[in-house]
Structure 1
Amino acid sequence: MRERDLVGRQGRFIVEGEVTLRLLFSGGARFRAESVLLAPERWPGLAPFLRDDDLPVYLAGKDVMSAVTGFPIHRGVLAVGLRGADPAPDALIPPAPAPALVLGLVGLTNHDNVGGLFRNAAAFGADAVLLDAETCDPLYRKAIRVSAGAALTVPFARAPSGTALIDLAERHGLTPLALTPGGAETLEALEPPPRALLLLGTEGPGLPESVMARARRIRIAMAPGFDSLNVATAGAIALHRLAAERLAGI
């Protein structure tokens, strides 16, 4: 079964590993487990929070599990999750005048980058991640794994386009910040706005001009002759800067 059919049409997703499984069970009402598949030696440590009469838990040797999954990278812990209803993007924005930090992803189709950005969003306390229609689903197995489970804990929703994300920012009093090597302002000189939407585009083409034209263009200063960072790395640097005040209070 192709994963895009599982995630996109059936509303299911796969989680692997103990840490991610525990996060699935702590993810609130949006996500829940449909079934769990364990190597027998993993049962004793996980049994205390898997004792739900309505939850099927299957045990199988690792040779059987590898035959099921196709490759031995699951560490003996797999589960099928159900995604539940997707929230509306507007519902995830803290109401003004409260501080807000939202991450907007436009055209990102690499699962590693999306997973890494969710991990960064969780690490720096972003309130939500908003994705346009072209960005890959953060509930793909690899994206969940790379996010260290943050895709199950950071609120996210999908908007039709990058332009729709700008419209949302205007409705909620968020300052849209477009991260681009050609930005007029440097990140280190930026006074972080109390309510911000940080916009990131795919590597190479970057953000569409129609999006950047309605945002403040911000760049990360780099050594002469080089202006490129992996988008997840750039996102981490920018999120850390924008979250500086809230992080100082922790």
Structure 2
Amino acid sequence: MARLVPVSDPADPRLADYVRLRDVNLRKSLEAEHGLFVAEGEKVIRRAVGAGHAVRSLLMARRWAEPLSDLLDGLDAPVYIADDATMEDLVGFQVHRGALASLERLPLPTVDALVSGAAGRAAAAAAGPPRRVLVLEDLVDHGNVGAIFRCAAALGVDAVVLSPRCADPLYRRAVKVSMGAVFAIPYARMTDWHGDLGRLRAAGFTLLALTPDQSAVPLEKASLDGRVALLLGSEGGGLSSRWLHEADEAVRIGMSPDAMAAGVDSLNVVAAAAIVCHTLAQG
């Protein structure tokens, strides 16, 4: 059973996992060093635990002990109880969702293991090797990455592959925005930006590059037979010229003539991802 431990000092060393949660550089260093991540809110914490992430500790206002009592009964980890002011001083913002958990990261599969179906969640493994995959190149906004994982989970995409410089799906904001979908979609991170697209092609994937270029094939007219990996580029510049060149086909989302006339030739990356995920699921 989890132990309820009252705390009142934001500098208490036992609370080090939760310090300055909005300081991205600090969190990257601390979380990488200790192999941890932080989940916020009851629903997300439950999904993280359900996905097999071991709990290091929890931090919450006392009023959250009862709603989470069934979860706490099954844990052998400290539950730090603090008032709202102490939590805000520690983490750097008001914790509206009331509860935080520090959890252990699981080892990430390689790209080869992911696309072969040898890694991932039990339900995904039972369904066989992935057929519909999103590949994210250098998306650096954690909220965007979390939202794309939520789209992928909701609309039936099988897996996500991240370029080496993509934002961390387990950063607190990404987990929060995804509503825990980062625990439902198997994913892997490339180690070789130059060469790992070739590994997807060797595994039988057709590589489709999403672009606003009007000379590209409309997405709904592209061939979605077999295994398909759809490439999405960074928030500002889109896909790199190298990845556009390496793709088997460039595809675009059709925009209305009125929008084009007004100079609106593309969508933000999350909206584009939602349309892409829906189209892939229909193919």
Scaled by the length of structure 1, the TM-score of the pair is 0.90
Distance 2:71 2:41 in 1: 15
Closer, same or farther: CA 241–214 of 1 in aligned 2, 3 Å: same
2:179 and 2:193 map into 1 onto residues whose CA distance is 26
Residue in structure 1 matched with residue 64 of structure 2 by the alignment: 42
- Verify: 1:233 aligned to 2:257, yes or no: no
Counterpart position of 1:119? 150
Q: Separation in 1 of the partners of 2:253 and 2:197?
A: 21
Task: Output the CA distance in 1 between the equivalents of 2:96 and 2:204.
Answer: 43
Q: Which residue of 2 aligns with 1:19?
A: 43
User: Could you tell me whether the CA contact under 8 Å between 2:87 and 2:95 is conserved in 1?
Assistant: no
Q: Percent identity?
A: 40
- The answer to whether the aligner puts 1:62 opposite 2:84 as a matched pair is yes
Matched, 1:144 2:166: no
Cα distance between partner residues in 2 of 1:53 and 1:234? 40
Q: Distance in 2 between matches of 1:242 and 1:89?
A: 20
Q: Distance in 1 between matches of 2:251 and 2:75?
A: 52
Match of 1:86 in 2: 108
Q: Provide the C-alpha distance between the structure 2 equivalents of 1:119 and 1:99, rounded to a whole number of angstroms.
A: 17
Alignment correspondent of 1:129: 160
SS in 1 for 2:188: strand
d(CA) in 2 for partners of 1:98 and 1:91? 10
Opposite residue 235 of structure 1, the aligned amino acid is: A
1:157 alignment partner, one of 188, 191, 207:
188
Is 1:188 matched up with 2:223?
A: no
Equivalent in the alignment of 2:251? 218
Matched, 1:105 2:136: yes
The residue type equivalent to 1:226 in the other structure is V
Cα offset, 1:98, TM superposition: 5.8
| Letter of the structure 2 residue corresponding to residue 3 of structure 1 | R
Q: Structure 1, residues 166-219: CA drift from partner, whole Å, max 9, x if none?
A: 212112101111101115200122242231111111023211122111211000
User: Structure 1's 86 and 186: CA in aligned 2 closer, same or farther, altered over 3 A?
Assistant: same
The equivalent of 1:248 in structure 2 is none
1:207 aligns with 2:231: no
Distance, in Å, in 1 between the alignment partners of 2:98 and 2:196 is: 40
Q: 1:164 to 1:9 in 2, by over 3 A?
A: farther
Contact 2:84 2:95 in 1 (8 A): no
Q: Contact 1:162/1:211 (CA < 8 Å) preserved in 2?
A: no
CA distance in 1, matches of 2:146, 2:172: 10
Q: CA–CA distance in 2 between the matches of 1:189 and 1:79?
A: 45
* Whole-angstrom CA distance in 2 between matches of 1:107 and 1:25: 29
**Alignment partners' CA distance in 2, 1:126 and 1:100:** 8
**Displacement, 1:101?**
0.8
**Structure number, greater radius of gyration:** 2
Residue deviations 1:110-148 (CA, integer Å, cap 9, x gap): 111111111111111222111111111111111111111
Name the CA shift for 1:175/1:45 in 2 (closer, same or farther; >3 Å).
same
Consecutive unaligned residues in structure 2, runs of 5 or more: 1-18, 20-25, 118-127
Structure-2 separation of matches of 1:3 and 1:229: 30
